[in-house]
Amino acid sequence: MDTTAKPQYDNGVVQYLTVGAVAFLVLGTFMGTFAAAQLAWPALNFDIAEITFARLRVMHTNTVIYAFGGMTLMATAFYTVQRTNGVKLWSNAMAWWTAILFTIGLLAVVVTISLGMTTGKEYHEQEWPLAIAIAVVWTLYTFNFMMTIASRNKETHPNVYVSNWFFMGMMIAITYLYVVNGLAIPVSLFRSYSLFSGVQDAMIQWWWGHNAVGFFLTAGFLAIMYYFVPKQAQRPIYSYRLSVIHFWALMFGYVWLGAHHLQYTALPDWTGSLGAVISLAMIIPSWGGALNGMLTLSGAWDRLRTDYILRFLIIALAFYAMSTFEGPVMASKTVNALSHYTDWTIGHVHSGALGWVAMVSIGALYHMVMKLWNTEMYSMKLINFHFWLATIGTVFYIVAMWVSGIMQGLMWRAYDEYGTLAYTFAESVAAMHPYYAMRALGGLLFFSGAAVMLYNVVMTIRMANAKSTSQVEAHA
């Protein structure tokens, strides 16, 4: 028996999902940049209903969250579950069906939203037939992942590595949150009404909405962090015990936060207070997790000079720490009174989305491309160039929104000596223009980085394929 042979894994579906994720990153950031430009220069709506801001913004969020984020989660989950458990996927065919149906479903979501078909529920705009289809695909993904873990050799792999726990937590939570929030009464093929009404509907919506952030965009991407940071750094995670605490604190705590989106509304006051208090408490595990990732580099910080992929992963953790501090502060009633309904919220979301989710994904995707095609990247310099485009773009974006948001909040609450509002709403909109232009520039930089990544990945795959073809010919 050849004990030196490398283990064989199902890589085809992971390769498909990896390339798909990069392509959707380019498409989604293009939509976002275009939508940002429309806010700065409204003529860019071109009076075309399908691409007006109201629809384009939702197409953007669905593309980046579900298409890019979802494909990244599927690619990394299928990649890591095989390696951490020393076994192939339970069903490679089911994984392929999952990947292809997910792609078709997401394209259908983007098209139907552009045609104006929407439930109007934030991050759950898909109308009922597509929502059911997505829930079924998600269940296939979850089932296959869990069965892969269950089919491992318990003698060689008695325990399940922590990244798998984060993936499973995300899968279970998103399944019940998505299904409950989506409960609706269909009245036609593309029209339905929520089963809940009034403030209950709002509470269920934000129970889902914040947990889409907490589980889909945090727990899932922490799973990525707990596997890819140690692998790329070639050092074990700083503390395994801290990762276990991080996991359980996140699972127990996150589901309570949603009500902080509804401060000063018809929701009972204590509910918002509870959401704010638990939000503040969540700083502790979040920072514990961020430090756990960063301290993995203890004694090897010089690696950041030369390893551009590691830079993506580590700066993602810095943004994770920053946005998990900013979020609870914004949840507190005093700050929320100023920040709510302003662009500060948009800035906060993007420090998490661009700085944390996209950066950690990009690092993991570059890592997987090299492993899956068994090659070096076409250009490491382009990865460095991408890193700076993404970092500067993110900073431009969030600084613009911080200034814009705080200015909005202050203008809206300013009174004159007679007790009337000092500014009209239109005046506050006009004051935003320079910051909206700056935001569009930040988005353009980030999108350019994504385009550079797509080029680099495509050239890497072409290079690897040409190399393997020439090797086959040499053997023949």
Partner 1 sequence: MSNLEQHLGTDWSAMTGQDWAGLIITVLVFFGMLITFWLTLRPSKRKELEEEKYKILKDD
Binding site for partner 1 (CB under 8 A): 6-7, 9, 83-84, 86, 159, 161-163, 227, 230-231, 234-237, 239-241, 243-245, 248-249, 252, 371
Minimum CB–partner distance for residue 202 and partner 1 (Å):
17
C-alpha neighbours within 13 Å on the C-beta side of residue 249? 18
Find where tokens 């695909």 sit.
137
Please, which residue, 191 or 231, has the CB nearer to partner 1?
231
Please, which residue, 42 or 86, has the CB nearer to partner 1?
86
Q: CA-CA distance, 348 to 88, in Å (whole number)?
A: 39
Please, which residue, 246 or 386, has the CB nearer to partner 1?
246
Please, which residue, 227 or 373, has the CB nearer to partner 1?
227
Q: Are 18 and 372 in contact (CB under 8 A)?
A: yes
Please, which residue, 161 or 207, has the CB nearer to partner 1?
161
Q: CA-CA distance, 311 to 152, in Å (whole number)?
A: 33
Minimum CB–partner distance for residue 130 and partner 1 (Å):
32
Please, which residue, 275 or 409, has the CB nearer to partner 1?
275
Minimum CB–partner distance for residue 318 and partner 1 (Å):
22
CB atoms within 10 A of CB 63: 25
Q: CA-CA distance, 355 to 398, in Å (whole number)?
A: 10
Please, which residue, 241 or 475, has the CB nearer to partner 1?
241
Minimum CB–partner distance for residue 238 and partner 1 (Å):
8
CB atoms within 10 A of CB 467: 13
Q: Are 151 and 88 in contact (CB under 8 A)?
A: no
Q: CA-CA distance, 86 to 198, in Å (whole number)?
A: 50
Q: In this structure, what is the dihedral angle of CA atoms 177, 181, 71, 140, given to the nearest 10 degrees? A: 70
Please, which residue, 154 or 413, has the CB nearer to partner 1?
154
Q: At what angle do helices 283-294 and 240-253 cross, to 10 degrees?
A: 150
C-alpha neighbours within 13 Å on the C-beta side of residue 337? 4
Please, which residue, 78 or 161, has the CB nearer to partner 1?
161
Minimum CB–partner distance for residue 85 and partner 1 (Å):
9
- Comparing CA positions, the residue from 278, 263, 264 lying closest to residue 211 is 278
Please, which residue, 90 or 344, has the CB nearer to partner 1?
90
Please, which residue, 51 or 160, has the CB nearer to partner 1?
160
Q: In this structure, what is the dihedral angle of CA atoms 331, 332, 334, 336, given to the nearest 10 degrees? A: 10
